[in-house]
Amino acid sequence: MLLAIGDLLEEILIQLKEPPVRGQDTPVRSARIRGGSAANVAAIDAEMGGTPRLVCQVGDDAVGYLLAEDVRSRGVQVDVRHSGATGVIVTTVGLGVRSRLVDRGASRGPTMLDDVELEGVTQLYVAASAFTEDPLASAIEGLLASLAECRIPVVVSGPSAADLELLGVDAFTELIRTLRPDAVVLNRAEHKAVGCQPRQALAGARTTIVTAGSRPTLVLQASGDTESVPVAPIATIRDRTGAGDGFLAGFLSSRRTGADAVAACHAGHRVAARVLQNLGPTTVR
C-alpha cells in the first residue's frame, strides 16, 4: 500500500484569452480543481485500484472539508488534520505562458507524524516541497529516520524552483544522499536546477528519473546505466494539470508490484496520458 504525505490544496485554473489590463476587468474561463502532489498522487493511485493512505493537513474551512471528502470519495484513506486556512494554487494558462501562484497554507503542517500508522505500508511518496518549510519538514525528517529501519522504499519528486529557493541545492542533494530513496523523479528543469548534468544521476538515489513532457524519459541508474523510455503521442490534450502526478502514480504502483524502473516509466506514461485527457489531476471524467 502507498502512503503519501504532503499537500492537499485548492487549485484555481484561469484560462487567459487576452492579457490583463491594469484597472480593467478581464473576462477569463476558470475551473476549480484539487492541487497538492501528495493528494493528487494518492487519488490517482486509488482511481487505478490502489488502496492508498494520505497524511495531510488542510484548513479548518469549508474548502478544506470539501477537498478531504473529494479525496476520500475516490477511495483514499485520508488521515487529515484541519487547522488554519487551506492553501491555494492559482494557475494561469494561455497566451503561451503557464504560471503558478502558490500559497501552501495549512499544508505546511502537520506537526506531528509520530503516530502515523505504518501497518500495510510498502511504499512512501513525498514531494520535495514537504522538506521546505517547518513544521512539516522537521516532522517528515523525523518520520523518515524511523522508516529507515523498516526498509520501506521512498520515492521523492523533484523540487520546483520555489522549493529550491527555500531549501537550497546543497540541502536537497544532501537529503537524497542520506535518505537513499528508491527513486527521485524530476522534470528536466528540476534536474538541471539541482545541479545535475543532462545524464547525471543524483548521488544516493537508486534511480533518478527525468521526465521531459512528450519527449523520452531518462532512467539514470546509480550504476551509471542510462535508458531512454519513449512517450506515446497524445492526439488531444484537454488540460496538462497533473501530468507529473499521473506519471508518479503510475510509476509508484508499477514499482510496488516489483517492476523495474523502465517498466515503471512505461506505466507512468500510460497514467499521465489518461490524466492529460481529463480536466484536472484525474484519470476519470
Binding site residues, ligand ATP, CB under 6 A? 187, 211-214, 217, 231, 234, 237, 242-244, 247, 269, 272-273, 276
Q: Which stretch binds Mg ion (CB under 5 A): 27-35, 121-129, 243-251, 269-277?
A: 243-251
Q: Which stretch binds Mg ion (CB under 5 A): 117-125, 244-252, 259-267, 275-283?
A: 244-252
Distance between CA atoms of residues 281 and 246, nearest Å: 7
Q: Does 244 bind Mg ion (CB under 5 A)?
A: yes
Distance between CA atoms of residues 31 and 39, nearest Å: 18
Pick 139 or 164: Cβ nearer ligand ATP: 164
Pick 139 or 283: Cβ nearer Mg ion: 283
If you search the block for the grid coordinates 492529460, which residue do you land on? 276
Which partner in ligand ATP, Mg ion, none is near 104 (CB below 5 to 8 A by kind)? none
Collapsing DSSP to helix, strand or coil, 105 comes out as: strand
Pick 39 or 143: Cβ nearer ligand ATP: 39
If you search the block for the grid coordinates 503542517, which residue do you land on? 109
Residue 4: in which H helix or E strand, if any? Answer: strand 2-6
Which partner in Mg ion, ligand ATP, none is near 172 (CB below 5 to 8 A by kind)? none
Which partner in ligand ATP, Mg ion, none is near 123 (CB below 5 to 8 A by kind)? none
Q: Determine the Cα angle at 167 with ends 164 and 169, to 5°.
A: 60
Residue 112: in which H helix or E strand, if any? Answer: none
Collapsing DSSP to helix, strand or coil, 144 comes out as: helix
Pick 150 or 237: Cβ nearer ligand ATP: 237
Q: Output the nine-digit C-alpha cell for 4.
A: 503519501
Distance between CA atoms of residues 93 and 17, nearest Å: 9
Q: Which stretch binds Mg ion (CB under 5 A): 5-13, 74-82, 175-183, 238-246?
A: 238-246
Whether the Cβ atoms of residue 219 and residue 261 lie closer than 8 Å to each other: yes
Nearest to 37 by CA among 80, 70, 4: 4
Report how many residues bind Mg ion under the rule CB under 5 A: 1
Q: Which stretch binds Mg ion (CB under 5 A): 65-73, 143-151, 230-238, 240-248?
A: 240-248
Residue 98 CB, nearest approach to ligand ATP (Å): 8
Which partner in ligand ATP, Mg ion, none is near 130 (CB below 5 to 8 A by kind)? none
Pick 113 or 255: Cβ nearer ligand ATP: 255
Residue 160 CB, nearest approach to ligand ATP (Å): 8
Pick 110 or 242: Cβ nearer ligand ATP: 242
If you search the block for the grid coordinates 485548492, which residue do you land on? 10
Q: Does 35 bind Mg ion (CB under 5 A)?
A: no
Which partner in Mg ion, ligand ATP, none is near 272 (CB below 5 to 8 A by kind)? ligand ATP
Is the omega angle on the peptide bond into residue 110 within 30 degrees of 0, that is, cis? yes
Question: Alpha carbon of 216 to those of 34, 57, 242: distances in Å?
Answer: 27, 35, 18
Pick 193 or 273: Cβ nearer ligand ATP: 273
Q: Does 242 bind Mg ion (CB under 5 A)?
A: no
Beta-strand runs (E) in 94-214: 99-105, 123-127, 154-157, 183-187, 207-212
Which residues are near Mg ion by CB under 5 A? 244
